[in-house]
Amino acid sequence: MVSLEKDKSTYWTSLKVGDLVQLKDEQTISDLMERGIEHITHGADFSIVRDRRIVSSDKKIKWLIFEITISDVYLYLVVKINLGSVDVKVCYIPDGFEDGNREDVMEHSDWLFDVPEDENVLLKDYNFVDNVIEDEGGGDEVVFDANPPVYGVCVEKGEEGSSKDFSTVIEYHSSNEDVDNPELFLLELNNITGSSEEDEFEDEDGDTIVNITETVDVNEDDSYIIFIQGCSIPLSQIEILR
């Protein structure tokens, strides 16, 4: 039976680095067994080593992205909270992709960009592709179609405090029912810098008034791209070991 608590966002937002997550879904357990990891028949206990949280600009969607590990195997637990609805995915970095900045991705995975014909367009202005095509061999291809980009702010929480970045999220999905991992998740992070200016003036009564204007700048030249693939799992197949 699925615990009612798992249907609530607070069950997931309370997670932090160092907490243990037990995965019991067949795909994860089978993959770990093939890697030679033992004593996981009834569940594999992963430790959370990284915690990123994204809130969309309209405040309607929140993604919790936890990097988790067991025996040198690293996966991603992606919890999407959309207007109170909770969806949990287990993801991995697919073959053929190396995370990094735009130059790194262009060098190793240029298929992720819609490269313009105009050579004068700067790399920072390249759009991501509307669909990703995965070659299955033998002439078979799987197409993953993109949802519109969602923009927001990503906060990474760690032992030394937190950092904040502008975020772009694109979710891709394949409607092919034979695909084990039909979900792709792309995240681009850009550093945010803030500044403030003070302006003093006197009102009609001679009192000094101070106006503070705050500005936020997004560094489009400094980006970091994460691209992962996976599938949703039933809430009954995951436990948080408090």
Q: Provide the CB-side half-sphere exposure for 117 (13 A, CA).
A: 0
In this prediction, residue 221 carries a pLDDT of: 77
Q: How confident is the model at residue 214, as a pLDDT?
A: 46
pLDDT at 200 over 70: no
pLDDT above 90 coverage of the chain, percent: 72
The stretch 152-171 carries a mean pLDDT of 87
> Residue 30 belongs to what H/E stretch?
helix 26-34
Residue of 115 and 206 predicted with greater confidence: 115
Tens-place pLDDT, residues 22-46: 999 999 999 999 999 999 989 999 9
- For residue 96, what pLDDT band results from cuts at 50, 70 and 90? confident
Taking residues 200-210, what's their average pLDDT?
56
Residue 189 has pLDDT above 70, yes or no: yes
Q: What is the pLDDT of residue 242?
A: 72
Question: Binning pLDDT at 50, 70 and 90, where does residue 194 land?
Answer: low
Percentage of residues in the chain having pLDDT higher than 70? 86
pLDDT the model gives residue 50: 95
Domain locations along the chain: 4-193+217-241
Strand partners, 132: 144
Query: Range with the lowest mean pLDDT among 14-18, 164-168, 202-206, 232-236?
Result: 202-206
Cβ neighbour number for residue 153 with a 10 Å cutoff: 16
Q: Across residues 110-139, what is the average pLDDT? A: 90
Distance (Å, whole) CA 234 – CA 221: 39
Helix (H) or strand (E) holding 199: strand 183-202
Residue 164 has pLDDT above 80, yes or no: yes
Q: So what's the pLDDT on residue 196?
A: 42
Host H or E run for residue 185: strand 183-202
Three-state DSSP class for residue 70: strand
- Decide the pairing of beta strands 61-70 and 44-56: antiparallel
